[in-house]
Structure 1
Amino acid sequence: MKILLVRLSSMGDLIHTLPAISDLAQHCPDVELHWLCETSFADIARLHPFVKRVHTMSWRTWRKNLFQAATWQEIGSLKTALRNENYTQVLDSQGLIKSAAFAKLARAPIVGLDSQSARESFAAHFYQQAYAVKKGEDAIWRNRQLFAQAFDYTFDTAPNFGVILPPDAIGSLKNQLPEKYYIALHATSRDSKLWAMEKWLDLLTQLHQTDGLPVLLPWGNPTEKQRAEAIASKLPFAQVCPRVNLLEAAYMLANAHTVIGVDTGLLHLANAVNRPLVGIYTDSDPVKTGVQPSAWARNLGGIGQSPSVDEVVQAVQGCLKAFAKPI
């Protein structure tokens, strides 16, 4: 059975889908799974070895150039490629009109969330079979529930992201990284989700005073780079990272001593590669979109609830202690 998964974006949404793919691999190993996603997030899909092929689309670019012939040629090429695969079924796990429309390009029966469960209820009208999954729950659990219903199995295990870093994930980083380091994910997609600069400076200073480790500051655009440079200018042990791709970021996160970050895709990637981490939430609900909690992964704060520096320090110490404890 050849299945196309449609989960286009964003980074966190793709990462939250990985445990459901691990479930599918366990319960339905004969499935050949392909994934359609945004080009910029294709490396996330490639992190799971059960995904046999990744198809990409560029809606963020296409929508700005809908009146250009080249855009429709690219969409036409995608449609041809998908139809040539002769999929048995398409699973739209995103529940948007946009994702449902792209799912239809494959010309195969589509399944997804019902109108009460999907983020955009009208998307369910595109599906031949729709399933109810309770809203307001953890995103990973919702994905696992949808997959379980679509492929007729049950699960009772803890989530397993199933990530395996490919050899080319290292890139040019191998000889550039310190032997041991913290990563501070200071940047996010919305200013309201940022943590105050003075809190970052206080936190990182306290951590450095404890163990003397350097702190790496990743960035993804000029504004984020400026923020990283502002932190590094005040903390001599902080280093602004070179710009990295997603595979390199995964390698960097997978080798970190600890990761502390605001609500951003890289925080969820750190969760997927199983590092000790603390998520700082100030304007989003960690119950729905937080990192998957464990003995060494914690969420702090919430909507309108910015955690204190002391809370984060204590959480980091607790996560490190749990991670170091023999199983």
Structure 2
Amino acid sequence: MLPAMSDIARHVPDARIDWLAEEAFAEIPSWHPAVGNVIKVAHRRWRKSWWSADVRAERRGLRGRLHAKRYDVVLDMQALLKSAWLVRQAQGVRHGLDWKSAREPLASLFYDVRHKVEFWQPAVVRQRQLAALTFGYTVMGRPDFGLQAFTRQAQHRAVNTDQRRNGAEYAVIMPSASRPDKLWPEDDWHAVFHRLREAGCSLRLLAGNDEETLRATALIEGFEGAEVVPRMNLTAIAKLLSGARMMVGLDSGLTHLSAALGRPTIGIYRASTPIRTPLVGDSFTASLGDRGAPPSRDAVLAAVEQALIA
């Protein structure tokens, strides 16, 4: 959604944007300079105890905040029943996708204005088109994720430390996923690690929980210059990614974030398809594999070679 925010800011210069976001990811919209307020939603946490007194109080608080402000446009960019439920609580003209365009068609019944956006297109394209139809402009140019602040900080650090000369370059690896059918074979990861170490890169592996930490630790056993990064908030991860020589990761939000930050990024798809969610960014990207057809070791190594010269 970030490029759509950049488009809105460019074409509707006096726009004041509030963004509803799941609390675990609320840092991300706060990075964009066009977003004024981030309103946190805790749907994932609430659904575990929906009718408890504390959760009911939190939901009442959110409803009160949404009712207190009248918006010119209320735009649902997810087209899910859970997001439509939130849209219905906000005051203003409600826009969203039509029945054939929405991921969950029933969500379209909750909008005042419905837009047609072809479903087969990549997600970044769909979001930009939906925003353009809502605000009446034409999408132009490459996607701008609005993350230039991270890029400038990384460039400043690189100049001050001269990473390449001092052997301080690193590659970020995301080898874990919430589903086992997304995982890539250990031997294939080791081949990638060997090539990156030959290129002078230390390895920094990301892990989101104890199980992923154990897997990442086992993967780098015997590799010098490799570490599992302690768990960090999303802003700290973005800073880490922005300074990396490249990232190689499974299809995950952090792999997509690396591409959005303009780093050479290789995504390994095994249980999902890159047709709708390819990596998008200003540097080299490779979205390899597909649902049920993981990329070969050779294909990933060939992409690593391209990323090394990007």
TM-score, normalised via structure 1 length: 0.87
**Aligned residue for 2:269?**
281
Residue 97 of structure 1 pairs with residue 81 of structure 2 = yes
Residue of structure 1 in register with 2:24 after alignment: 40
RMSD across aligned C-alpha pairs, in angstroms? 2.1
Q: Match for residue 151 of structure 1?
A: 135
Letter in 2 for 1:59: H
Q: Aligned equivalents of 1:146 and 1:251: distance in 2?
A: 30
Tell me the equivalent position of 2:15.
Answer: 31
Please list every run of 5 or more consecutive structure 1 residues that lacks an aligned counterpart in the other structure. 1-16
TM-score, normalisation: structure 2: 0.92
1:202-221 aligned at under 5 Å gives the runs 202-209=191-198, 211-221=199-209
240, 254, 257: which one pairs with 1:266? 254
Q: Partner of 1:185 in structure 2?
A: 174
Larger mean CA deviation between 305-314 and 48-57 belongs to 305-314
1:31 partner letter: A
Distance between the aligned counterparts of 2:281 and 2:275, measured in 1?
Answer: 10
Listed as ranges, the matches of 1:196-207 within 5 Å are: 196-207=185-196
Q: Give the conservation status (yes or no) of the 8 Å contact 1:88–1:108.
A: yes
1:318 to 291, 294, 306: 306
| Amino-acid identity (%) | 37
Counterpart amino acid of residue 222 in structure 1: D
Provide the rounded CA distance (Å) in 2 between the counterparts of 1:162 and 1:66. 35
- How many angstroms does 1:212 deviate by? 2.6
Contact 1:219-1:228 within 8 A present in 2 as well: yes
Partner Cα separation in structure 1 for residue 241 and residue 281 of structure 2: 17
Instruction: Say if 1:121 and 1:221 are closer, same or farther in 2 by CA, change over 3 A.
Output: same
Match of 1:107 among 79, 87, 91: 91
CA contact 1:138–1:289 (8 Å) conserved in 2: yes
- The one-letter code of the counterpart of 1:208 is R
1:226 aligns with 2:214: yes
Secondary structure, in 3 states, of the residue corresponding to 2:51? coil
AA matched with 1:135: F
**Contact 1:254–1:274, Cα closer than 8 Å, also in 2:** yes
Alpha-carbon separation, structure 2, partners of 1:148 and 1:297: 26
Structure 2 CA distance for aligned equivalents of residues 217 and 166 of structure 1: 20
The offset of 1:293, in angstroms, is 6.1
Shift of 1:299: 1.0
Look up the match of 2:184: 195
Shift of 1:273: 0.8
Match of 1:298 among 283, 286, 290: 286
Give deviations 1:236-275, integer Å, cap 9, x for gaps: 2211101111000000000001101110110011011110
Aligned partners of 1:295, 1:164: CA distance in 2, in Å? 14
Query: How many Å apart are 1:20 and its aligned residue?
Result: 0.9
After superposing on structure 2, the runs of 4+ consecutive aligned residues of structure 1 that deviate more than 3 Å are 164-167
